[in-house]
Amino acid sequence: MSVILSLVLAAIQAIVQVAVICTFGHILARKGYLSQPLQKGLSILSVKFFTPCLLFANTAASVTWDNFIQLWPLPVYFILFSCSAWLLAKAAARPLGLTVAQTRFVTAVLMFSNTNSLPIGLIESLTMSGAVAWLRWHDDDKHSLVAARGIAYIVFYSILGNVVRWSYGAHLLEQDLDAPQDVVVASNSPSSAHTTLAPAKDAASGAGGHGPTIYSAQYLAKTGEGSLSRYPTLRRWWRRTRRACKPIVHYIKPVLTAPFLAALLGLVAALSPLRHLLIEPDGLLHATLFAAIRDCGEAAVPVILVCLGAQLTTLAMHRPAAIAPSQDGYTALEANLLPVSGTSSTITPYPSYRLVVPFVIVSRLVLLPAIALAIVWVTLPFAGGLREDPMFLFTVLLIGACPTTINLMTVCQANGQFERPMGRVLMWEYLLSGLSMVGWCIVFLWIAKRDDIV
């Protein structure tokens, strides 16, 4: 009974901590201190600065060559969990009648779980309770060592999650294709003629245009050919190279976000000679540069949670005015998009998320933890020496059962896309995750203590 009570208290404490910080954002939004433009500005600041600092500091401080090699099963489980979530989202698209944008939304929500605050809080609370006896690797294993191993597993897994989340995940939520798009109106003003980058003909070439082509300085600077104008061979090679690389850049550029690059730089710093200079406590730049980056990164999670609480409040306050239909049955936004008389254009209504949100919540809190349990049960015998550590087994299962990461709301706020459905999903997931996490933790502890699973 004491173990179950410890689990209940640990789950409640971890959830309530998130709820309290979100409540602060709710109060600030109600008082008018966090307006919608300010919320978006803070979200962009978090994505572009605070979160990259957090990822760089955590990655650089947590990874060494020893654990990089020893913890090889974690990348395998990350791939297996992510692929199962991706397949579940794709499999549900046709039965639920999801649009392309809704499928992208469901894929992002199912693939990326909370791998930072919630599981670490649960691990720390459990190791201070009677449940630590179920997680010891050896009889003389201290609770501090048990907690350190669990947190190390979570941090290493979260590094992989952060890299993919801030690249592929951010790309999934980059644009809501179902939302009405801005209409670009052509301008007839004289200034618009100067916005097109094109080669300009010399006046001496005449009306027929048979004279030599004179390229403007802006055009040459844009194409990168200004310095190669004297070398026709190099210019041709440069054009061919740009054409060949254009498709590659088109696919790579969306995933090269600031958090993704920060995580890669942290990995490079951790596994290179820069570690002794920057990360080690006696390093020359540790107390200055690295400490400054780490301190800035510590502001990322509070800013994200405050913005989440404020965003949920703003959406609730503005919902009636935003969707109230007119006497003709159209909303104000749809009325502006009505076709002009004599045209054949029709309005495509914004798809409903009435079925999407419940499906995502049930999948994230029930189906995916069960799938993770089946995956671990089958593959654990091949996990090397780590399969004998009950904390490793418990941590991997716990990561698979956590709700969606709150960082996705930051991406939605920064892009101005999927804000309302993401807010509803996160609100209900974290309200219900207290019960689901307690139930799954009891099951996972019982499994971690069994000797016949390996």
> For residue range 112-166, what is the model confidence (pLDDT) as tens digits?
998 876 787 777 777 777 777 778 887 777 777 787 788 778 878 887 887 888 8
Question: What CA–CA distance (Å, rounded) separates 71 from 152?
Answer: 10
The 10 Å Cβ neighbour count of residue 139 is: 6
- The pLDDT score that the predictor gives to residue 111 is 94
Comparing CA positions, the residue from 360, 365, 363, 364 lying closest to residue 436 is: 365
Q: Which two tokens stand for residue 299?
A: 């502001």
- The pLDDT score that the predictor gives to residue 324 is 42
**347 contacts: CB under 8 Å, gap ≥ 6:** 330, 334, 337, 338, 339
| pLDDT tens digit at each of 454 positions of the chain | 566 676 667 666 666 777 788 889 889 999 989 888 898 888 888 888 988 888 788 778 777 787 778 888 999 999 999 999 999 999 999 999 999 999 999 999 999 998 876 787 777 777 777 777 778 887 777 777 787 788 778 878 887 887 888 888 888 998 887 776 544 444 444 444 444 444 444 444 444 444 444 444 444 444 554 555 556 677 677 777 777 777 666 656 666 778 778 878 888 888 888 888 888 888 888 888 999 998 998 888 788 778 878 877 876 776 544 344 444 443 443 344 344 444 444 455 667 888 899 999 999 999 999 999 999 999 988 887 788 888 899 999 999 999 998 888 888 878 888 888 998 898 888 888 878 888 888 888 888 776 555 5
Residue 55: helix, strand or coil by DSSP?
helix
Domains of the chain, by residue range, sit at 2-178+292-322+352-449
Q: Which two tokens stand for residue 35?
A: 């307006």
- The pLDDT score that the predictor gives to residue 453 is 53
Question: What CA–CA distance (Å, rounded) separates 433 from 11?
Answer: 9
CATH code linked to domain 2-178+292-322+352-449: 1.20.1530
Question: What CA–CA distance (Å, rounded) separates 440 from 450?
Answer: 16
Give the pLDDT confidence of 48-83 residue by residue, as tens digits: 898 888 878 877 877 778 777 888 899 999 999 999
Question: What would you report as the CA-atom Rg of the chain, rounded to the nearest whole angstrom?
Answer: 27
Comparing CA positions, the residue from 286, 254, 203 lying closest to residue 415 is: 254
Residue 113 bridge partners (DSSP): 404
Residue 297 vs residues 23, 113, 230, 257: alpha-carbon distances, Å: 22, 20, 49, 16
- The pLDDT score that the predictor gives to residue 204 is 41
Question: What CA–CA distance (Å, rounded) separates 69 from 65?
Answer: 6
**Torsion-angle region of 206 (φ positive above 0: left; ψ -120 to 50: alpha; else: beta):** left
- The pLDDT score that the predictor gives to residue 222 is 47
- The pLDDT score that the predictor gives to residue 104 is 93
The 10 Å Cβ neighbour count of residue 114 is: 24
Helix H or strand E segment including 144: helix 143-164
